[in-house]
Amino acid sequence: MCTGIRLSALDGTVVHARTLEFGVDLESTVIISPRGYRRTGTTPDGQPGQTWQARYASIGADGLGLRVIVDGLNEKGLAVGLFYFPGSAGYLAYTPADAPNTVAPWELGSWILDQFASVEEVKAGIGRVVVPAVLLKAWNLELEVHYIVHDASGQSLVIEYVDNQLRIHDNPLGVFTNSPSFDWHITNLRNYVNFSTTNLEPLQLGSVRLAPLGQGSGMLGMPGDFTPPSRFVRAVAFSQSIFPAQSGREAILNAFHILNNFDIPRGAAREAHRDAKGNVLADHTIWTAASDLQALQFHFRTYANSQIRRVDLMAHDLDGDAILTVAMTGEEQIAPLTALAA
C-alpha cells in the first residue's frame, strides 16, 4: 500500500517522495553504499547471480537487514523506489545458464543505483539483466514488486515484469502506487476528467439554486479509500495541483504535506485473518521518505516519529570500504511550550 509522487521546484530541484506500508515492520535503516562496493545477485536455484561493482555511491532505506535499497538515490541524482505489486508481477523465465546475469527482485533497485546516472541509461541497460521469481527466505515467499525511477532532469520511468516479460513505461506524471499494472492506472484516470482545482459554480434547476457546500467542490467525488487505484487518482490530483515550490527545501516540505493524505493509521486497513501467532495483520505507514535529487539528500519520518530527519549523501566518504548505516528508530518528541505575558 505504497504511494509515490514526483515534484519539481522553480529552482530546478526534482523531488522523489513516497510512503511505505506493510503489515509487519521492515526494520529499515538508512544505508550509504560506497563507490566500488561489490554485490552478487541471488538466483532461484542457489547459484551465485550477477556480480557487479558500484560505479556510484547511493543512499536510501533498506529492509530486513538485506543491505539493498528499497527506496533511495545515487550521487548522480537517480532515484529508485520498489513498490509492492501483488497478483500482477510475472517475472522472467530462468534457467541455470542465466545465473551470471541474474538478480533477485529486491536487489534490482541497488543494481540500478550502482550503475546508472539517468533514466535514459536505465532504459538502455535494464534489458541485460534477468529478474526471475526468487524465494525471499526471511518471509518464505516470492516478493512481488515493480519499480519507479526518476532522475535529476525530471524524467520518470516505470519498470514492471508482467506475464514473464519486461515492460517499461514513461511516467510523465511521476505518480506510482501498486496493482494493477501502470498502464491500467493511466487509463483509469479518464474516469476523472471532470476534476478541477477550481470550485464549481452554483447550478440552477428551474427555481432551485444549488450551490456547493464548501471549498473543494471541483474535486467532488474523489475516491478516498486506501486501494491502489484510488490512491493513484488522489496522488495525481494533489501533485499536479499544488503551487510550485520556489526551492528544493520547500518542495521537500510540499511532498510531505501531500503524502500526509496517504498516511495509514495502524488498524484502518487489516486482513480478515490472523497470522500463525494470532496477530492481526494491518498495513500501516511504516515510513515516508523524500529525496532531493539535486542536493542529494534523503529525508524521512516514521510511524513512531513524525519529525522529518535528513541524511546528506555528500557528507560521507563515498569511497569507503563498507556500507554505513543510520538508524531510523526513535520516539516522537513533544515539546512543552510556556505562555508569555501579553
Is the per-residue pLDDT at 238 higher than 90? yes
280 against 3, higher pLDDT: 3
Please give the full DSSP string across 44-92, using - where no structure is assigned: TTS-EEEEEE-SS-EEEE--TT--S-SEEEETTS-EEEEEE-TTT--PP
Contact (CB, 8 A) for 74 and 123 = no
- State the average pLDDT over residues 256-268: 94
Instruction: Tell which CATH classification among 3.60.60.10, 3.30.420.40, 3.90.1150.10, 3.60.21.10 matches the domain 4-193+224-327.
Output: 3.60.60.10
pTM of model > 0.85: yes
**Which has more pLDDT, 271 or 54?**
54
- pLDDT band per the 50, 70, 90 thresholds, residue 279: confident
pLDDT tens digit sequence for 26-84: 999 999 999 999 999 999 999 999 999 999 999 999 999 999 999 999 999 999 999 99
Which range of 24-28, 212-216, 221-225, 289-293 scores highest in mean pLDDT? It is 289-293
pLDDT at 278: 78
Which residue type occupies 177? Answer: T
- 277 pLDDT above the threshold of 80: no
Q: Which of 101, 83, 79, 80 is nearest to 92 (CA)?
A: 101
Calpha distance 342→339 (Å, rounded): 9
Residue that has been written with the C-alpha cell 547471480 in this structure: 49
Q: Which three cell numbers stand for residue 223?
A: 475516491
Can you give the residue ranges of every domain in the chain?
4-193+224-327
What's the CA angle centered on 60, arms 56 and 64, to 5 degrees? 120
Q: Which pLDDT score, from 0 to 100, does residue 268 have? A: 86
Q: How confident is the model at residue 92 (pLDDT cuts 50, 70, 90)?
A: very high
* Average pLDDT of the chain to the nearest whole number: 95
The proportion of the chain whose per-residue pLDDT surpasses 70, expressed as a percent, equals 100
pLDDT average, residue stretch 338-342: 89
pLDDT of residue 1: 81
Mean pLDDT computed over 135-146: 93
DSSP at 9: B
* Band of residue 13 on the pLDDT scale cut at 50, 70, 90: very high
Confidence of residue 172 (pLDDT cuts 50, 70, 90): very high
**Residue 18 in contact with residue 109, Cβ under 8 Å?**
no
- In 3D, which of 62, 60, 64 has the Cα closest to residue 16? 60
Q: Which of 128-132, 145-149, 220-224, 280-284 has the lowest mean pLDDT?
A: 280-284
On the question of pLDDT at 307 being above 90, the answer is yes
Q: Which residues are catalytic?
A: 2
